[in-house]
Amino acid sequence: SSLQHTFQENRPNSASFFEQAKHSMTGGVNGNLRYFAPFPIIFEKAKNATLIDVDGHPYVDYLLSYGALMLGHAHPDILKAVERVWSEQGTSSFGATHPLELEMAEELITLFPSFDQIRFTNSGLEATLFSLRLAMAATGRTHVAKFEGHYHGAHDHVLQSVNPEAHAAGASEEPMAVPDSLGSPDYYRQHSVILPFNDWNACERILTDRAQEIAAVIMEPMLSGYIAADPQFMKNLRELTTQLGIILIFDEVKTGFRIEVGGAQTYYGVEPDLTALGKVVGGGFPIGIVGGKQSVMELASPLRSNKKTEVVFHSGTFNGNPLSIAAGLATIRYLKQPGRFDQIVQHTHELRSGIDALAKQYELPLQTIGIGTIFNVLTTEKTVQHYRDLGANHNQLRLALDYLLMENGVYSKPLNRFSLSAAHGPDEIKATLDAFEKSMAALKK
Ligand code: PLP
Quick check: 277 pLDDT over 90?
yes
User: Does residue 332 share a domain with residue 276?
Assistant: yes
**pLDDT band with cut points at 50, 70 and 90 for residue 220:** very high
328-344, pLDDT tens digit by residue? 999 999 999 999 999 99
- Report pLDDT for 164: 85
Quick check: 265 pLDDT over 80?
yes
User: Does residue 154 share a domain with residue 26?
Assistant: no
CA-to-CA distance for 192 and 186, rounded, in angstroms?
10
Best CA proximity match to 202, nearest among 177, 231, 245, 237? 237
Position in ligand 1 atom list of the atom nearest CA 66: 8
Domain boundary residue among 314, 336, 358? Answer: 336
Domain boundary residue among 301, 336, 371? Answer: 336
- Report pLDDT for 166: 66
User: Does residue 361 share a domain with residue 290?
Assistant: no
User: Does residue 112 share a domain with residue 225?
Assistant: yes
Q: What is the CATH number of the domain that holds 178?
A: 3.40.640.10
Mean pLDDT of the chain: 97
Q: What is the CATH number of the domain that holds 65?
A: 3.90.1150.10
Q: Which domain holds residue 15?
A: 2-74+338-444
User: Does residue 277 share a domain with residue 253?
Assistant: yes
In angstroms, what is the span from residue 119 Cα to ligand 1's centroid?
A: 17
Q: How many domains, in total, are found in the chain?
A: 2
For residue 226, the one-letter residue type is: Y
In angstroms, what is the span from residue 261 Cα to ligand 1's centroid?
A: 18
Ligand 1 pocket by C-beta < 6 Å: which residues? 66, 123-125, 128, 151-153, 220, 251, 253-254, 278
User: Does residue 358 share a domain with residue 317?
Assistant: no
- Report pLDDT for 392: 94
User: Does residue 222 share a domain with residue 123?
Assistant: yes
User: Does residue 157 share a domain with residue 236?
Assistant: yes
CA-only gyration radius of the chain, Å:
22
- Report pLDDT for 320: 97
Domain boundary residue among 315, 336, 357? Answer: 336
Quick check: 168 pLDDT over 80?
no
343-368, pLDDT tens digit by residue? 999 999 999 999 999 999 999 999 99
User: Does residue 279 share a domain with residue 411?
Assistant: no
Checking DSSP bridges between strand 418-419 and strand 367-371, what pairing results, if any? unpaired
Q: Could you give the residue ranges of the DSSP H alpha helices within 290-391?
A: 294-297, 322-336, 340-361
User: Does residue 155 share a domain with residue 190?
Assistant: yes
| pLDDT mean over 24-51 | 97
- Ligand 1 pocket test, pick from 33, 129, 132, 151 with the greatest ligand atom count within 8 Å of Cβ, gives 151
User: Does residue 261 share a domain with residue 217?
Assistant: yes
Instruction: Give me the phi and psi of 74, to 5 degrees please.
Output: 55, 50
CA-to-CA distance for 229 and 147, rounded, in angstroms?
11
**Cis omega before residue 38 (within 30°)?**
yes
Q: Could you give the residue ranges of the DSSP H alpha helices within 38-191?
A: 64-67, 76-89, 99-111, 124-139, 186-190
Point out the catalytic residue in the list 59, 62, 66, 151.
Answer: 151
DSSP 228-254: EPPHHHHHHHHHHHHHHTPEEEEE-TT
- Report pLDDT for 1: 81
CA-to-CA distance for 412 and 243, rounded, in angstroms?
42
CA-to-CA distance for 320 and 325, rounded, in angstroms?
7
Best CA proximity match to 39, nearest among 56, 58, 53, 60? 53
pTM, entire model: 0.98
User: Does residue 408 share a domain with residue 324?
Assistant: no
Quick check: 165 pLDDT over 90?
no
Best CA proximity match to 240, nearest among 264, 275, 205, 268? 205
- Report pLDDT for 167: 63
